[in-house]
A = this chain, B = another copy of it.
Amino acid sequence: MTKTATRLRVVEVDNLKTACSTCSLQELCLPAGLNEAELKAVDELVNRRRPVKRSDYLFRAGTALHSLYAIRSGFLKSSVLHDDGREQVAGFHMMGDLMGMDAIGTSQHLCDAVALEDSEVCEIPLKDLEALSRDIPSLQQHFHRIMSREIARDYGVMLLLGSMRAEERLAAFLLNLSQRFAARGYSSLEFNLRMTREEIGSYLGLKLETVSRTLSGFQAQGLIAVQNKHLRILKIDALQELVSPHGCRG
């Protein structure tokens, strides 16, 4: 195979921390059932780590695609800029998520990716990923599943933006965050919002005042407790109810 170049790289002590085989994100970002040699190949694929400081760009719209990025820690947003300056937040991304997939089609990033807190990502050269996934079918499938899940997520966002009211949007948003934190071993009922009200609003197609008011409303109804960025979900089933009233769908 073509990747003998990377074989030259000496395995340093520091790299042990980097290795996918020892990374805590394994089950999120690696396919299961790889053998020794395959694991090693994947480790070599993802061997460049890169810190991204708060409010720094991971990549910018219009720049050439070099790599995809797997988030190791931290929190980022991706956003599309309209010609006249309006910003639309397209997603919030946390550990285990893969970013940059929108750029494969044109080899050029379509959105900006900005860190909302100090973060660390693993750089994955697209060419190498494609080459390796030819040799490891389960890696190939995994990659396809990840892209597909991004498409599915986008459909969900369209549903939200296209046909939900403000309360429903915000409830859906909070529940989504909750689930994702839970999937990563954090509390699903108590967490910090890493983004501003304005960013939430942009993501949900609402103005920041509406986000603020709606959150206050939820608090008044005893559904949540918010103080600044800190959020506690008090009645998760009531939020669920807001999103899909009384379990319809026969």
Contact = CB atoms under 8 A, between A and B. Distances in A.
Interface of A: 80-90, 101-106, 110-111, 130, 133-134, 137, 140-141, 144-152, 154-159, 161-164, 202-205, 243-245, 247-249
A83 B140 CA distance: 33
B102 A245 contact: no
A130 B202 CA distance: 37
A162 B79 CA distance: 12
Contact of A245 (B80, B84, B87, B245): B84
A162 B111 contact: no
Given A110-B152, A152-B105, A83 B245 contact: yes
A236 B214 CA distance: 40
B161 A158 contact: yes
B104 A145 contact: yes
Interface centre among A88, A141, A157 (most CB of B within 10 A): A88
A104 B144 contact: yes
Counting every copy of the chain, the complex holds 2
A102 to B, nearest CB: 5
Contact of A155 (B80, B146, B155, B247): B80
A157 B203 CA distance: 12
Contacts of A145: 104-105
Contacts of A247: 83
Contacts of A163: 82, 86-88, 202, 205
Given A82-B159, A104-B145, A150 B152 contact: no
Q: Which secondary structure dominates where chain A touches chain B?
A: helix
B147 A148 contact: yes
Contacts of A152: 102-103, 105-106, 110
Nearest to A106: B152
A139 to B, nearest CB: 11
Given A82-B159, A202-B163, A205-B161, A101 B154 contact: no
8 contacts: A84-B248, A102-B152, A105-B146, A154-B155, A154-B158, A162-B203, A162-B204, A163-B205
A195 to B, nearest CB: 15
A158 B105 contact: no
Nearest to A205: B162
A150 B154 CA distance: 10
Interface centre among A159, A164, A203 (most CB of B within 10 A): A159
